[in-house]
Amino acid sequence: MPLIDLTTVAAASREAGKGLGAFNVVQLETAQVLVDAAAAAARPVVLQVSQNAVKYHGGHLAPIGRATIEVAKAAEIEAIVHLDHADDVELIREAVDLGFTSVMYDGSHLPFEQNLATTIEVVEFCHAAGVTVEAELGEVGGKDGVHAPGVRTDPDDAADFVAKTGVDLLAVAVGSSHAMTERSADLDLELIERMAATVPVPLVLHGSSGVSDAGMVAAIRAGMTKINVSTHLNVQFTAAVREYLTANPDAVDPRKYVAAGNQVVRAEVERLLGLYAA
């Protein structure tokens, strides 16, 4: 299936009141697992390659990026290939040149005016290439290992930011935090409702790994659309690999223990996609 842009799929999900699952690609096998799970759930999926994943792959986007694009093209369902959490504008340009259909520019750590100016620059060249842009306003905690539930995005500031930049999706801080290994985040559902009523583009929830099933369903009903999950799947993958190696102490073939981890991830992604569409 040809690659599809995130703007179209996110708008349709928002209109239908359903969550759009976005999951991080760590290795090539991850991309295939995510596509297989989405096909089983009969739901679209966003395959995210983060700036940190690029660093993991030796600082080179092209190999994992091109491979993920090919997996998406071969998928039976709508698959979007998205550059996640990039604060490097040159990396964003490379992603656009490679054929990514969506990017996230993360200038949330910058002063507002600088974030605004750079986001406008990114939107201009991405839109000229037909590429969707997601941005972030209001720092989502956890990137430095600190859970910061007190940080919140102001709805009026968010609407102003979207109007001035022309971004297609906006990640907002509503109580979640990156890198949480326990699903204990307490989301501000009233704020999500106000944000959804004020901001004209689909909202993105980062740090969803720390949100319970019930919390996630409530967030989608309140107005969240794109749901980013990474750490939660990493926890499940690692536990399955540990279990396999404990049961098979003589195992040396990585295909076998990686497959054990991927099997668990596939099942969980399929379950989550069904949950988001409920």
The residues annotated with a catalytic role in the active site are 84
Phi and psi at residue 146, to the nearest 5°: -105, 125
Compute the distance between CA of residue 172 and CA of residue 182 in angstroms, rounded to an integer: 21
Instruction: Name residue, tokens 């102003």.
Output: 160
Q: Residues 185, 149: contact at Cβ < 8 Å?
A: yes
Compute the distance between CA of residue 34 and CA of residue 44 in angstroms, rounded to an integer: 10
DSSP character string of 34-77: HHHHHHHHT--EEEEEEHHHHHHTTT-HHHHHHHHHHHHHT-SS
- The number of beta carbons lying within 10 Å of the beta carbon of residue 76 is 12
| Burial classification of residue 61, based on how many CB atoms lie within 10 Å of its CB (0-12 exposed, 13-18 middle, 19 or more buried) | buried
What residues have CB less than 8 Å from 167, skipping those under 6 apart? 119, 123, 133, 134, 135, 161, 201
Q: What would you report as the CA-atom Rg of the chain, rounded to the nearest whole angstrom?
A: 18
Q: Where are the alpha helices (DSSP H) in the chain?
A: 6-16, 28-41, 51-56, 61-73, 89-98, 112-128, 155-165, 189-198, 213-222, 231-247, 254-276
What residues have CB less than 8 Å from 164, skipping those under 6 apart? 116, 120
Token pair of 168 as six digits? 């297609």
**In the beta sheet, which residues pair with residue 204?**
171, 226
